[in-house]
Chains A and B, each alone.
Chain A
Amino acid sequence: MVKIQKTILSRVEGEIELKLIWEKGIIKDAFIIAPNFRGFEFILEGKPILDSLIITPRVCGICGHAHLMATVNALENLYKNAGYNIEISKKANLIRLITLSAEIVQNHLRWFYLFVFPDLLKLETYTEDLSEYIPIKGKQWQKAIDFSSKIVKVIAIFGGQWPHTSYSIPGGVVCDPTTFDITESISIVDSMIKYYEENIIGMKYENYLSIEDYKEFIEKSDKDLSKFLKLCFKHNLHKIGKAYNRFLTVSNIYPIFSQGATKRKKYNFNIKKLEEIDTYSFLTKKGIDFNGKKYSWAKAVRYEGFPYETGPLARRINNKDKLFLNLLADLKDTYIPRIWARIDEIIKLLLAMKKWLQEIDIKEPSYIKPKKNIKELEGIAYGLCEAARGSLIHKLEVKEGKIKKYDIITPSTWNLGPRCEKYLSPAEKAIIGLDNSLIAEMVLRSFDVCSVCTTH
């Protein structure tokens, strides 16, 4: 008997439906449906070029800053492709990295406590005392809100506000920070590090960073991450959610992110090997089509024809972080490493932020006006950025001072898009074979679901 079950997922960004096909108590097939579509790429057509800086951040309320960075990167590449040198001061570069990192830290904290932890409460059915993690009432839940809101104050210091600033533009950044702006930002980062040590890892970060084996961490720590992992093992979650063991990262942020495509061995990322497939998407090259087997607004995206997982786990693997190479060897690309990678990234970003903040020389220019007016440029350019959920790619084509075409491939498209003729998306693959719908939802959430980005 084949049974079809449809669930609307809460505790994700936006609207996602999970359609499960059951046979003899096992999930035989899974469809991730993104039912909403706003049409950002089409809305951008015909707009003045720089207006993309205002519009693309509004694709997503949680990673809008990454969209801004991808757009700036694309616009600066437009200059380069047209043969114009565009100069960015070291200061402007550092500030961009700092604000982008702040957004990612914010995202990971909210995702872990607001979206992921409540699932474990359900599994436990409250036998163990987990009251600290109960949504709204729980102390640790509340702290996650406080500290995720605190780190984005750094974006406000440099960019005026979060969400939805457009403070970064071709040539640099618009702000001109004072020494005191920088020392305040350092203090915020310091308090975040302390929060992370005391609440999440339960040890000094130096000790945590020297750990290369998961068992050692679980033994030594009794704070939130360790509690979470212990519960995962208790409920046999170390075997679920395996995807393709292929990992993609598109840009470098030394020393924490390094670009590459790993399938056993690591290769350089090459944008020419990427392809969008619309067989199962309502959105096709020839227009909108709701017929037949189509089921999502998202398109499938493939690299050398294969699905790749992107995001924090991919970044840890492509960066060859010891703990994660070991985790992969022990547990494969499953639920636990995928979740841990997101939490792990927080401290690496915070430490990098602190270093970058100290390196800013306020005497350098924030902005160096490009010599050529952007309205006189024509051509095609890509913008790459590592966002909270993984690799974000913008492609724009401009003509006669206007945007002719804009294409956005979000991290969620890589992970949660639909299938192609040959392969399921990584998240769909990770769900098949499970025997419990709550666990299926949990696997889906481990990819950090953002439907607003998936379809845009």
Chain B
Amino acid sequence: MKTLLWIQGLTCNGNTHSLLNAENPSFYDIFSKIKLLFHPAISSDEDLIKIIKDITQNKISLTFLVVEGSITKNKSFCRVGDFSIAEIIDQLKDKAEFIIAVGNCASFGNIPALYKENTNVVGLQYIFTEKKGLLPPNFKTKSGYPVINISGCPIHPAWFMQTILALYYEKPLILDAFNRPKEIYMYLPHDGCIRNEYFEWKEESEEFGHKEGCLFYNLGCKGPLTHAPCNKILWNRTSSKTRAGMPCLGCTEFNFPLRENYFETKKNIGIPEEVPLGVSKRAYITISGVAKSLRNERVKKKLEETD
């Protein structure tokens, strides 16, 4: 039976709790297929330190090593018993078929990496955009894959589940430039957003609290600049930030915590500093001009009042 070991560095547990929300498969469904060796929030009788020992002595084979949280070698700031999280990863890295970083912390260092008193906080293979994480840039696990990053603050449970299942069924996984599964991160939150019609016609929200309007031009939405399928695979299978009326924060990107002023759009002489992916500033200006000069009556009205 394939096995999975879940360990945590500096974390908020948000990925764990997001994962408990999983549907198709649910948390308990997946662990009828795969043996859960240990999870800090779930396990009852198992002893993590003994499991690690058994893995290093080849008594247990480890298929998936899952890491949640940022990594530090500094035991004063993060400790599992007598070990640092970095030491544990070091012991297991050549034993696991796959290593999976769940969430932005394990992938890119994220918010804990901003803390100045502990200068050694990193992701597994990256620190923000640079390939200078705990493991060397060319590191690969037994299966030939680098650390597979499932970024997001937090992850969507389906992103994790489908990645694990694809590997379980021995399907090849295409990774993007940040070693994230392409089939998840090839979409943008902009794809499928119910405010797209407003984006198209440049009907821009001026303030929060309305169903109508696009949040891109004034309210900081990063939907067109972020790799994540939040409006394809809905959150809690129900909705998404942008559907509810909150700007996308770009929480799946390496630079998520480096950004500032999430609720406003930085502009230069009326033009957003960052334009949608794949589009030049010039093209954006032209298309905006055209859209604004033509009129879509529908987007000018409250939704309840449209024809």
Contacts and interface: CB of A to CB of B under 8 A. Distances in A.
Say if A and B assemble together: yes
Given A39-B117, A110-B20, A172-B209, A145 B11 contact: no
Given A61-B18, A145-B28, A15 B80 contact: yes
A205 B101 CA distance: 44
Given A38-B111, A149-B20, A159-B244, A452 B11 contact: yes
B220 to A, nearest CB: 10
B15 A61 contact: yes
A15 B245 contact: no
A130 B207 CA distance: 54
Interface string A422-453: 00000000000000000000000000000010
A157 B239 contact: yes
A163 B14 contact: yes
A174 interface: yes
Given A62-B13, A110-B20, A174-B208, A35 B79 contact: yes
Given A35-B78, A36-B10, A42 B28 contact: no
Interface string B83-125: 0000000000000000000000000000110111110000000
B280 interface: no
A366 B117 CA distance: 41
Contacts of A176: 209-211, 245
A59 B12 contact: yes
Nearest to B38: A10
B244 A160 contact: yes
Contacts of B207: 367, 369
Contact of B11 (A14, A48, A155, A171): A14
Given A51-B260, A366-B209, A15 B40 contact: yes
A39 B261 contact: no
A114 B41 contact: yes
Contact of A161 (B8, B241, B245): B241
Interface string A127-147: 000000001110001100110
B300 to A, nearest CB: 17
A178 B303 CA distance: 11
Given A14-B8, A15-B40, A145-B28, A51 B262 contact: yes
Interface stretch (B42-50, B141-149, B177-185): B42-50
B208 A148 contact: no
Which of the listed residues B118, B210, B236 has the most CB atoms from chain A within 10 Å of its own CB?
Answer: B236
A382 interface: no
Interface in B109-163: 111-112, 114-118, 153-154
For chain A, give the interface size range.
Answer: 35 or more
Interface in A107-125: 110, 114-115, 118, 121-122
A164 interface: yes
B209 A160 contact: no
Nearest to B238: A156
Which of the listed residues A50, A54, A171 has the most CB atoms from chain B within 10 Å of its own CB?
Answer: A54
Interface of B: 8, 10-18, 20-23, 26-28, 31-32, 36, 40-46, 48, 70, 76-81, 111-112, 114-118, 153-154, 207-211, 230, 234-246, 249, 251, 257, 260-263
CB-CB nearest 4 A-B residue pairs: A61-B14, A367-B209, A161-B235, A39-B115
Interface of A: 8, 10-15, 17, 35-40, 42-43, 47-48, 50-51, 53-55, 58-62, 64, 110, 114-115, 118, 121-122, 135-137, 141-142, 145-146, 148-149, 152-153, 155-167, 169, 171-176, 178, 282, 288, 290, 365-367, 369, 452
20 contacts: A11-B41, A12-B40, A35-B78, A36-B10, A48-B260, A51-B262, A55-B257, A115-B41, A121-B44, A122-B45, A135-B43, A149-B23, A149-B236, A156-B238, A160-B235, A165-B244, A167-B246, A175-B246, A178-B211, A366-B208
